[in-house]
């Protein structure tokens, strides 16, 4: 598998409504290696792709997903006339895509629903389950289902604009030397770092859409870059991979 990997954060969110099927399709068209998304559970047990726990920001609906049926959630317009897809719809409509799925909802617990869905669709090998909540990761790993699917290591620190993602759903990504207390038993580490100081007077951290800074992060050994705008970052990866290919000839 190629490394490093280009992660499309909520799809091609810079072009299409985030976390929608058109956004994910567009990201793949730009050459994204992995689609990043977040999931919540409806009141009738459907796993829905959404970053937020409610429809306030995306659809102007002040209702929590966990308290709504799928039928109600499907009436919400989250931009451009599009609706929140279920995780099953994404897996079925994009059968070759690799996914990094952040299990957001903690109450009620949705981990077994997600794991069962992956088993039923035989999608375990192309989906990495991640969470920034240790308890959620523990539930994923201790699922009653035999041989739990690959899972990532989360953390308690606030998210940074740049994240180093897993190398694959089935192999441990290169991690920073610092040990993580819950890393044992997980197949990948999803770390959040102050990757590269912005080479501009205003300071800050790596811009998810800046090709020059993406290149700098790769030069430092990043296994992957997560971006809202894969169209802007994909050329950096294409150039790097051509160079790698030429060195192996």
Question: What does the block give as tokens for 242?
Answer: 């051509």
Residue 70 is predicted with a pLDDT of 98
The proportion of the chain whose per-residue pLDDT surpasses 70, expressed as a percent, equals 72
116-169 pLDDT, tens digit each = 999 999 999 999 998 888 888 888 877 644 344 455 545 444 333 223 233 333
Higher pLDDT, 172 or 203: 203
pLDDT over 70 (residue 230): yes
Higher pLDDT, 65 or 191: 65
Distance CA 7, CA 31 (A): 10
If you search the block for the tokens 């109600």, which residue do you land on? 72
pLDDT over 50 (residue 178): no
Higher pLDDT, 176 or 155: 155
Superfamily of domain 5-32+86-178+190-248: Phosphatidylinositol (PI) phosphodiesterase (3.20.20.190)
Higher pLDDT, 239 or 60: 60
Whether residue 150 contacts residue 188, with contact meaning beta carbons closer than 8 Å, is answered with yes
Average pLDDT of the chain is 78
76-105 pLDDT, tens digit each = 999 999 999 999 999 999 999 999 999 999
Distance CA 109, CA 35 (A): 23
Q: Which of 45-54, 111-120, 194-203, 218-227 bottoms out in mean pLDDT, i.e. has the lowest?
A: 194-203
Question: What does the block give as tokens for 197?
Answer: 């100081």
The H or E element that residue 113 is part of is helix 111-121
Distance CA 62, CA 79 (A): 16
Where b means 16+ CB within 10 Å and e means fewer, 214-248 reads bbbbbeeebbbbbbbbbbbbbebbeebeeeeeeee
Q: Which of 11-15, 51-55, 73-77, 199-203 bottoms out in mean pLDDT, i.e. has the lowest?
A: 199-203
Residue 131 is predicted with a pLDDT of 87
Q: With cut-offs at 50, 70 and 90, classify the pLDDT of residue 249.
A: low
Residue 137 is predicted with a pLDDT of 83
Residue 113 is predicted with a pLDDT of 94
Residue 22 is predicted with a pLDDT of 98
Task: Identify the CA nearest to 66 among candidates 18, 111, 106, 38.
Answer: 106
Distance CA 170, CA 167 (A): 8
Distance CA 12, CA 20 (A): 9
| Residues catalogued as catalytic | 9, 51
Distance CA 115, CA 137 (A): 12
Q: With cut-offs at 50, 70 and 90, classify the pLDDT of residue 13.
A: very high
Query: How deeply is 79 buried, as exposed, middle or buried, from its count of CB atoms within 10 A (0-12, 13-18, 19+)?
Result: middle
pLDDT over 60 (residue 48): yes
Q: What residues does 49 pair with on adjacent strands?
A: 39
Distance of CA 151 to the CA centre of its chain: 12
Furthest-apart CA pair in the chain: how many Å?
A: 57
Residue 133 is predicted with a pLDDT of 84
The answer to whether the pTM exceeds 0.75 is: yes
Domain ranges of the chain: 5-32+86-178+190-248
Task: Identify the CA nearest to 219 among candidates 198, 240, 245.
Answer: 240
């Amino acid at each position: 598998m190629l490394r490093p990997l280009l992660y499309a954060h909520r799809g091609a969110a810079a072009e299409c409504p985030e976390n929608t099927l058109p956004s994910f399709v567009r990201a793949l068209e730009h050459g994204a290696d992995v689609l990043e998304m977040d999931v919540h559970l409806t009141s009738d047990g459907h796993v829905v792709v959404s970053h937020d726990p409610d429809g306030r920001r995306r659809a102007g609906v002040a209702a929590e997903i966990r308290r709504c049926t799928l039928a109600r959630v499907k009436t919400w317009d989250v931009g451009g006339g599009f609706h929140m897809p279920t995780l099953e719809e994404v897996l079925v409509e994009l059968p070759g895509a690799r996914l990094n799925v952040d299990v957001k909802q903690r109450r009620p617990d949705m981990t077994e629903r997600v794991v069962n869905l992956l088993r039923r669709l035989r999608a375990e090998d192309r989906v990495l389950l991640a969470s920034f909540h240790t308890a959620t990761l523990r539930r994923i790993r201790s699922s009653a289902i035999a041989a739990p699917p690959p899972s990532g290591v989360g953390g308690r620190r606030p998210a940074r604009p740049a994240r180093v993602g897993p190398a694959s759903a089935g192999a441990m990504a290169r991690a920073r030397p610092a040990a993580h207390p819950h890393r044992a038993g997980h197949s990948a580490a999803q770390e959040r770092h102050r990757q590269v100081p912005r080479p501009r007077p205003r300071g800050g951290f790596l811009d998810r859409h800046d090709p020059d800074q993406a290149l700098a992060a790769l030069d430092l050994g990043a296994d992957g870059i997560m971006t809202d705008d894969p169209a802007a970052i994909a050329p950096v990866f294409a150039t790097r991979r051509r160079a790698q290919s030429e060195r192996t000839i």
